[in-house]
Homo-oligomer: A and B are copies of this chain.
Amino acid sequence: MTVHNDALRDRACLIVHGPDHPGIVAAVSALVSRQKGNIVALDQYSDDADGGAFFQRVVFHRPGLAAAMPEIKADLAETVGGLGLEWALSDQSVPKRMAILASTSDHCVLELLWRHRRGELNVSIPMVISNHTKIAEDVRSFGIPFFHVPSQGPDKSEAEARIIELLAGNVDVVVLARYMQILSEDFLDRVAVPVINIHHSFLPAFIGAAPYRKAHERGVKMIGATSHYVTKDLDEGPIIEQDIARVDHSMSAADLQVRGAYVERAVLSRAVQWHTEDRVIRHGNHTIVFA
């Protein structure tokens, strides 16, 4: 049975993107009109400089949306597909299913669970997976299932296989909430849904491990955090959101880590919210964010 968010009943989100040419907005809005939808929000961006890519997000209200989805999709395939554009239509009353992977740090995972409980994230959370057990009790106190998948030794394939078993068919997005394991390219292929990570630096500064130590050594006056889609190239995926906090000479690397945790949880939460509301479009190694 699908979970429904009644506050968003009959609300659809349409993403359209592809090569820009005149009349796309008109064609899309005519389609929404003829499908009895009323546009609630519309964002549009044309990337002239980089060769003319077009991006649009339309939210519309359509009474009886669930029943009408096949017909609307057929119209989109013909009209928008016929213009050589890609499109995706989602029913916003059906929350995305989001799995969270974490290790021992609780600040990111608890922030997501807490925002979810407050009704601020339009997701369901079928599971939290960790390679440690430290956060199990906290996770379960939110009524969320917790699974322990240890990742011992250099060969991660067994742990990854176990995680894939848990995720397969059950999730629409995976969030790495300070999950301290590098996922293999094979894992990313098999999981087949977007994977969002939080990196504890202002990428591309301090790529890789121990960014707070490196930041301390360099003597920076600000630290940052970056949420990005995970690709096979470590810390190189499309950036969704970044933010920073001021630091000073009196702070040790450990102090930077304490301060940074607050940036990390805020940045990851915003990235997750935007992704799950279909506000983020990937384009090459960039993102268009209609925040």
Residue of B nearest to A238 (CB): B219
9 shortest A-B CB distances, which residue pairs? A26-B29, A219-B286, A22-B38, A205-B205, A26-B33, A42-B44, A221-B242, A25-B29, A249-B288
Residue of B nearest to A267 (CB): B221
The distance in angstroms between the C-alpha atoms of A198 and B206, with both chains bound, is 20
Dominant SS among interface residues on chain A: mixed
A32 within 8 A of B: yes
Among A188-227, those with CB < 8 Å from B are 202-206, 218-222, 224
A22 x B33 contact (CB < 8 A): yes
B219 x A202 contact (CB < 8 A): no
Chain B residues closer than 8 Å to A47, beta-carbon distance:
249
A23 within 8 A of B: yes
The distance in angstroms between the C-alpha atoms of A30 and B29, with both chains bound, is 9
The distance in angstroms between the C-alpha atoms of A38 and B23, with both chains bound, is 7
Give how many copies assemble into the complex. Answer: 4
Shortest Cβ gap from A120 to chain B (Å)? 6
Shortest Cβ gap from A146 to chain B (Å)? 15
Shortest Cβ gap from A8 to chain B (Å)? 13
Residue of B nearest to A218 (CB): B204
Tell which of B41, B120, B204 touches A44, judged by Cβ atoms closer than 8 Å: B41
Chain B residues closer than 8 Å to A287, beta-carbon distance:
219, 249
- A10-22 toward B: CB 8 Å interface, digit per residue (1/0)? 0000000000011
Among A170-191, those with CB < 8 Å from B are none
Among A32-71, those with CB < 8 Å from B are 32-33, 37-49
A152 within 8 A of B: no
A74 within 8 A of B: no
